[in-house]
Amino acid sequence: MEFVDYAVIRVKAGDGGDGAVSFHREKYVAAGGPDGGDGGKGGDVIFVVDDSMSTLLDFRYKRKYFAEKGQNGGAKRCTGRNAPDLVVKVPRGTVVTDKATGRIIADMSDSEPHIIAAGGKGGKGNARFATPTRQIPRFSKPGFPGEEYEISLELKLLADVGLVGFPNVGKSTLISVVSAAKPKIANYHFTTLTPVLGVVSAGEGKSFVMADIPGLIEGASEGAGLGHEFLRHVDRCRLIVHIVDVSGSEDRDPKEDFEKINLELSRFSSDLAGRKQIIAANKCDIATPEQIADFRSFVESKGLELFEISAATTGGTDKLVSAIAAELDKLPPVRIYEAEPKPMPIDDKTGFGEKFEITRGDDAVFYVTAPWLEHIMRTIDMDDYSSLQYFQKMLKNTGIIARLEEMGIKEGDTVDILGFEFDFVF
């Protein structure tokens, strides 16, 4: 199965159902009065964790997730049915972000459902607008629109320990001998193309999760090689185990490799560069004592601890595992991203948001562009006086009237709102 750890999709919660315009009709009952019911709530888009999923591959083929609209209200004060929620399953560790603003909506690292897009409330029926002075309201309120986002899904592995290092330094071999994970191992670059998780036992009922993550190359922080395919998965790790081929078996300088890997980490994230590191000098079974001593001196000069291991022969791996477990006891738990609150709408009195634009055409007509008004105008009876009063109140409350006056509108000037034209009257 192809490993996919990033996807962009569009989600839309259901709109609320419209309130009904209805009047009681019964034999021998005169002027029964308004009895239009409220609309039902639109469905939420809810994400839940599915531990059987390990990739975002499904979201490559389906990119739109739209919940149902609430049912419209009915006569006899009948409230419309609430729409069912749309439940979407994602792998554990998926971070959900609003692509337009960068706001983190949810970190799917626990087992709780998260509402990603909230359904709109149902609109009020005309029965709600009856007053002693307005006994036959011929308008209702439309349902509020459901939230809609283009979101990015980014799978960040939930691992305590991340193995970093250049390709072919022995990361896959190490995780295969200290855990039950069975990654594909061969003597060529980029054998590991997908992260591999393994549970490592540290004795006395203690264990931790180790991730063998695809190898870095120079320029990875800018997208070279596997680039962010690697870096996003090490982002959560509490501890980094930096594996270096101390033998230089591929004519590489272990010191240069060490510096280049840390440079890529710092370029990607200063927080990641400052994460606690343990250095594992691998392939000590084929290295010379001089090579090991030289690299040890280099590492210790930076205040870091070095462990000599041979993943191929398991030499030194028990001591490394014990040191990792001891270090993890001192570190905070795996990082969980805090969801960021939604920005509060400014002076939002309608629930639709009040963004609008007014322009004056060459024909001297004032053109009002406000998509949210379309919902309101659907339920307005332009031939009914009380309905028009309600419409005028909405224009005043949302600042449209004030803006027209600022633009110098005069009595008798024409205003166009979504194709509906009327003469302005003070």
pLDDT tens string 68-101: 999 999 999 999 999 999 999 999 999 999 999 9
Q: Which residue has the tokens 């990875």?
A: 220
Residue from 142, 135, 122 nearest 35 by CA: 135
Residue 402 burial (C-beta neighbours within 10 Å; 0-12, 13-18, 19+): exposed
Tens digits of per-residue pLDDT, 104-143?
999 999 999 999 999 999 999 989 888 887 778 888 888 9
Strands 148-155 and 104-108: unpaired
Cα–Cα distance measured from residue 38 to residue 120, given in angstroms and rounded to the nearest whole number: 13
**Cβ distance 380 to 139 under 8 Å?**
yes
pLDDT at 85: 98
Look at 18 and 343; give whichever has higher pLDDT.
18
Calpha distance 252→249 (Å, rounded): 7
Task: List Cα–Cα distances, 60 to 7, 152, 229, 263, in angstroms.
Answer: 6, 12, 16, 32
Is 267 or 404 the better-scoring residue by pLDDT? 404
Whether the predicted pLDDT of 193 surpasses 70: no
Which one of 3.40.50.2300, 1.20.1250.20, 3.30.300.350, 3.90.870.10 gives the CATH number of domain 357-423?
Answer: 3.30.300.350
DSSP class per residue in 339-363: PPPPPPPTT--SSS----EEEE-TT
Fold of 1-156: Spo0b-associated Gtp-binding Protein; Chain: A, (2.70.210)
Checking if the pLDDT of 186 tops 60, the result is: no
Give the distance, in angstroms, between the CA of residue 425 and the centroid of all CA atoms in the same chain: 47
Helix (H, G, I), strand (E, B) or coil at 150: strand
- Planar angle of CA 295, 300, 306, nearest 5 degrees: 70
Quick check: 60 pLDDT over 60? yes
140 CB-side CA count, 13 A: 29
Nearest to 201 by CA among 300, 312, 318: 318
Q: Any residues with CB less than 8 A from the CB of 350 and at least 6 apart, and which?
A: 372, 376, 394, 397, 398
Structure-block tokens of residue 182:
């069975």
Q: What percent of the chain has pLDDT over 90?
A: 46
Distances from the Cα of 369 to the Cα of 18, 105, 107, 356, 420, angstroms? 22, 29, 36, 6, 11
- In sequence order, which ranges of 121-236 are alpha helices (DSSP H)? 171-178, 228-234
Asked whether the beta carbons of 160 and 21 are under 8 A apart, the reply is no
pLDDT score at 190: 46
**In the chain, what are the domain boundaries?**
1-156, 161-328, 357-423
Q: Is the pLDDT of residue 203 over 70?
A: yes
Mean pLDDT value of segment 382-401: 79
Partner residues linked to 243 by β-bridges: 280
Confidence band, pLDDT 50/70/90 cuts, at residue 24? confident
Assess contact for 47 and 108: CB atoms under 8 A: yes
Q: What DSSP string describes 114-140?
A: EEEEPPPPPPPPGGGG-BTTB-S----
pLDDT of residue 117: 96
The predicted structure's pLDDT at residue 249: 84
Whether residue 230 has pLDDT greater than 80: no
- For the segment(s) 161-328, the CATH number from 2.60.120.370, 3.40.50.300, 3.30.590.20, 3.40.50.1820 is 3.40.50.300
pLDDT band at 347 (very low <50, low <70, confident <90, very high): very low
Supply the pLDDT for residue 191.
Answer: 44
